Amino acid sequence: MEPKFLALEQEKQDRILNAAMKEFAQNGYKNTSTNNIVKQAGISKGLLFHYFTNKRELYLTLYDYFVELFLKEMQQKVDWEDKDIFSRHRQIAALKIKLFHQYEHIFNFLNAAMSENSREVKSELDSRKEKFINHNYREMLQDIDKSKFKEGLDVSKIIEIISWSMEGFAYKQQAKFKGLSINEMDLEETLQELDGYIEVLKYSFYK
């Protein structure tokens, strides 16, 4: 994050961050107009470019900031001593829900970034995604207790299948919540539904 920007009062920072995040999440990179961002953030055109040199920098900075925020929270809030894969996934899900309460558009933005196709940011984004997945995300699921799985199963495949299931579930929830304001979403129920899937997976893969 640009140091100039960080010197700003917190409230103004958040106004800009949220405005940009929301616009990028809803419209994608190219279709987001810096005009709309500044209008929504209540700042002048010039100021945005004073802090972020250009639109690309703004987008990438935003991406980095929230990826890092997510990872930092993971490090701090997840109990890494607990080696049970399902327990870990469940903690991550709970964490996501908490973050979602803080930054309503964070996952819409991050997911949109995952499938962002605009020339201007695609390659840079791809390399960061790779780094993110290889260095951070993957290891989170490596030091788990593999002794709990049934014999005769390819454990690494099982781990992948569980991840895919978690992602599939998250995606399904997002589709269900599309268009709703955060108050209208019953996130408690979501966790309970998740437990249903975890139960099935546990029953099938665990001894």
Partner DNA sequence: CATGAATGAGGGTTCATTCAT
Partner DNA sequence: GATGAATGAACCCTCATTCAT
Catalog residues that contact DNA under the rule CB under 7 A. 4, 7-8, 12, 32-36, 43-47, 49-51, 53-56
What residues from 97 to 116 belong to the interface with its own copies (CB under 8 A)? 111-112, 115-116
Between CA 173 and CA 175 the distance in angstroms is 5
CB of 7 to DNA, least distance (A): 6
- Closest contact distance (angstroms) between CB of 181 and its own copies is 18
Q: Does 34 bind its own copies (CB under 8 A)?
A: no
Taking the complex as a whole, the smallest distance from the CB of residue 22 to DNA amounts, in Å, to: 15
- Geometric angle at alpha carbon 163, from 158 and 164, rounded to 5°: 95
**88, 145 Cβ separation under 8 angstroms:** no
Instruction: Give which of DNA, its own copies, none residue 163 binds (C-beta under 5 to 8 Å, depending on kind).
Output: its own copies
Whole-angstrom CA distances from 40 to 27, 33, 48 are 14, 11, 12
DSSP annotation string for 68-136: HHHHHHHHHHS-TT---HHHHHHHHHHHHHHHHHHSTTHHHHHHHHHT---HHHHHHHHHHHHHIIIII
Contact 87, 202 (CB under 8 A): no
User: Is position 197 an interface residue for its own copies (rule: CB under 8 A)?
Assistant: yes
Cβ proximity to its own copies: between 61 and 108 the closer is 108
Joined together, the tokens standing for residue 121 give 């940011």
Q: Give the per-residue contact string, 37-76, with its own copies (x = CB under 8 A; - = no).
A: ----------------------------------------
Q: Which 3 state secondary structure label does DSSP give 149?
A: strand
Give the torsion through C-alpha atoms of 7, 10, 16, 22, to 10 deg. 140
Binding of residue 127 to its own copies (CB under 8 A): no
Q: Which residues contact 67 (CB under 8 A, 6 or more apart)?
A: 110, 128, 132
- Please, which residue, 55 or 89, has the CB nearer to DNA? 55
Applying CB under 8 A, does 204 fall inside the site for its own copies? yes
Q: Which does 181 bind (CB under 5 to 8 A by kind): its own copies, DNA, none?
A: none
Please tell me the count of residues contacting its own copies according to CB under 8 A.
37
- Binding positions for its own copies, rule: CB under 8 A: 25-31, 111-112, 115-120, 150, 152-154, 157-158, 160-161, 163-165, 167-169, 172, 196-197, 200-201, 203-205
